[in-house]
Amino acid sequence: MIVIRPERLIDGTGSPAREGMAVVVEAERVTRVCRVAELGEVDPVARVIDAPGATLMPGMIDAHVHLAYDGSPRPLDYKLATLSDSYPALALQAVRHARDTLRAGITAVRDLNAPGGVVLALRDAIAAGHVDGPRVVACGQGLSVTGGHMDKGAWGDHVALRDLNAPCDGPEAFRQGVRAQVKRGADCIKINLCGGSSRDLSAPYKQEMTDAEVAAAIDEAHRLERHVAAHTSGGPSVTMAVRAGLDSVEHGHWIDQETADLMAERGTYYVPTLLVNERNYEIGRDALGGSDASWAWLDKAREDKWASLERVYRAGAPVVMGTDAGFMLPHGSMTAREVELLVHGGLSAMDAIVAATSTAARLLGIDAGLVQEGSIADLVLVPGDPSRDVRVLQDLDALRVWRAGREVVA
């Protein structure tokens, strides 16, 4: 038994922080949440943790990661890793990435594309207790049209890649692609709906999948009881996909008011992945390279995404924290900056915390994201009050983390 007595408690529901509370953990669950004055006599064998000045809250959830990749700042390095590292080597690297993620207070993630069965195997190893890591919800491989966002060319004709992604063409092929990922054990399905276009910045997006392909993939995934996430840039194809039943819009640089209202009506989740946009500018053009046209697109995407986030948030659609860690972002160490950027984009501090806890848990369909009697004891004890200043979540050295009632040791 563990008894935690923080300065304040944030339960993940969006209710204001409460002071003078005690939380009792037994095995994997929170068994009691009450005022300290009502706690009564504590079992003499219980471990009591008094934390003046600190806040206890649910473990955070990153709804968009790529655990198989190391977050190298240059996309070229990410691409070359697919040739230089075997899938077993990527799996071993993913173990380290999972540990780094957990130690940063991220107790659950959704992985949205990995080669082979790398992250599906990691998920099972974590669940079995063989290695430490967050809870993992994984799509297996993303489904993309041939030559689409996740099936890009630029390899020599003599190069053949196996199980790097899952290219599909035509509605029936996408149905088969969904079935194949579910057969491998996928918890959800990712499709690559649309990409960016720098040819005409008045329409900086291009649809990759046909309407019929989108409808088939979503219908098949829902029939097999899997939710669907879509890599998107924006525009009419996103509106179409939301109408077809899409569960979460990933990235979504250009979301107009019609689509924002439709997302609110349908309960479609928005995972804006703000930090990965900013990383382009932190790393810089000298390191990343790229044409004038591509950087003009990045400039527009960076500016316009703030307006898209504001539209979706004000419309009332659920916003979820996700970083794209693994792509230009290291795992764990930067994740809490995404919460700060949500606040910068107009969310209140508490709404940003909810986006990183209970709302994310609902999207992933997992028992997490709350501190209530009976809830899983995925917990983070943080210095200060994140409901006033979310930047305290970035003080990783000061965090204490519990995963299913067991404290994570750095």
371-385 pLDDT per residue, tens: 999 999 999 999 999
CATH number at residue 22: 2.30.40.10
Average pLDDT, the chain: 95
Q: What is the mean pLDDT of residues 144-167?
A: 79
pLDDT in tens, 387-405: 999 999 999 999 999 999 9
Return d(Cα 120, Cα 103) in angstroms, integer: 21
Q: What pLDDT, on the 0 to 100 scale, is given for residue 211?
A: 98
Residues 248 and 339 in one domain: yes
How would you classify the pairing of strands 2-9 and 18-19?
Answer: antiparallel
Q: What is the mean pLDDT of residues 342-352?
A: 98
pLDDT higher than 90, residue 168:
yes
Residues 67 and 41 in one domain: no
Q: What pLDDT, on the 0 to 100 scale, is given for residue 162?
A: 73
In this prediction, residue 154 has a pLDDT band, given cuts at 50, 70 and 90, of: low
Residues 383 and 266 in one domain: no
How would you classify the pairing of strands 47-58 and 60-65?
Answer: unpaired
C-alpha closest to that of 345 among 266, 238, 271, 246 = 271
pLDDT higher than 70, residue 248:
yes
Residues 179 and 324 in one domain: yes
pLDDT higher than 80, residue 148:
yes
Q: What pLDDT, on the 0 to 100 scale, is given for residue 55?
A: 98
The total of structural domains in the chain comes to: 2
In this prediction, residue 150 has a pLDDT band, given cuts at 50, 70 and 90, of: confident
Domain boundary among 364, 379, 396: 364
The residue to which tokens 């290695």 are assigned: 131
Phi-psi region of 315 (alpha: psi -120 to 50; beta: other; left: phi over 0): alpha
Domain containing 72: what range? 60-364
Q: What is the mean pLDDT of residues 39-50?
A: 91
pLDDT higher than 70, residue 27:
yes
Q: What pLDDT, on the 0 to 100 scale, is given for residue 79?
A: 67
pLDDT higher than 80, residue 95:
yes
Asked if 380 and 345 count as a contact pair (C-beta separation under 8 A), the reply is no
Q: What is the mean pLDDT of residues 186-194?
A: 97
In this prediction, residue 78 has a pLDDT band, given cuts at 50, 70 and 90, of: low
Return d(Cα 263, Cα 364) in angstroms, integer: 17
Residues 206 and 72 in one domain: yes
Q: What is the mean pLDDT of residues 291-314?
A: 96
Residues 341 and 310 in one domain: yes
∠ at Cα 341 (320, 315), nearest 5°? Answer: 50
The pTM (predicted TM-score) of the whole model is 0.96
Residues 46 and 140 in one domain: no
Q: What pLDDT, on the 0 to 100 scale, is given for residue 83?
A: 73
Residues 118 and 165 in one domain: yes
Residues 384 and 303 in one domain: no
Residues 288 and 374 in one domain: no
In this prediction, residue 241 has a pLDDT band, given cuts at 50, 70 and 90, of: very high
Residues 163 and 208 in one domain: yes
Residues 43 and 190 in one domain: no
CATH number at residue 312: 3.20.20.140
